[in-house]
Amino acid sequence: MIRSFLIGLVAGQRGITPLAVIATATRREEIPATLPLQRLLRNPVIAAGTAAFAAAEMAGDKMKTAPDRIVPIGLAVRSVTAAYAGAALAPRDKKVLGAAVAVGSALAASYFGLRLRRAAMARYGQTATGFVEDAIVFAAGLAIANPKLVSGKA
C-alpha cells in the first residue's frame, strides 16, 4: 500500500505523470496488466502518448497563465489518475483500497504542494521552481512505479 500512497503524492503535484509511469511499468512488466485498459498501456504509441501528455503538463506549468493545481478540474484529473495508478500498484486483493489511499494522498499533496511551490516561487520564480518540482516528481514517479529501473536490476 505504500506505493499507492506515494504515487498519490506524485499525482498531487502533476496529474498526468502517474499515468505515464504506470504505462512505463506496464510495458516493462514490472506490474501486471490487471486493470481495465491497462493492456493498452503496453502499446508503444499509447505509452508514448501518456509521456507526451505528462511532458505537456510540465511545460504548461511554467506558463504565467497556468491555473493552480487545486482548481476543480485539476483536482478531478489528479483524483482519477491517482486512483488508477494507486490501484495498479496495490496488491491484487486490495485494488480499491489502493485507489482510495492514492486519491487521499493526492488531494492532500495538491494543497500542501501548492503552498510549498508558492513559497519557493516568491524566492526563486515560477520557471526555476517548476523545473525542480518536475525533476523531483518525475524521478519519484519512475522510482515508485518501476523500482527495478532505478535499482539497476532491470
* pLDDT > 70? residue 95: yes
Q: Which of the two residues, 96 and 36, has the higher pLDDT score?
A: 96
Q: What is the pLDDT of residues 79-94, one digit of tens each?
A: 999 999 999 999 999 9
Q: What is the pLDDT of residues 109-144, one digit of tens each?
A: 999 999 999 999 999 999 999 999 999 999 999 999
pLDDT of residue 90: 96
pLDDT of residue 107: 98
pLDDT band for position 148 (50/70/90)? confident
By CB atoms closer than 10 A (0-12, 13-18, 19+), residue 62 is: middle
pLDDT band for position 149 (50/70/90)? confident
Distance CA 28, CA 24 (A): 6
pLDDT of residue 154: 59
* pLDDT > 70? residue 27: yes
Cα Dmax for the chain: 46
Q: What is the pLDDT of residues 32-80, one digit of tens each?
A: 999 988 999 999 999 999 999 999 999 998 988 989 999 999 999 999 9
Distance CA 151, CA 77 (A): 30
Angle at 46 between CA 13 and CA 26, to 5 degrees: 70
CA distances from 58 to 14, 15, 29, 34, 91 (A): 7, 10, 26, 28, 30
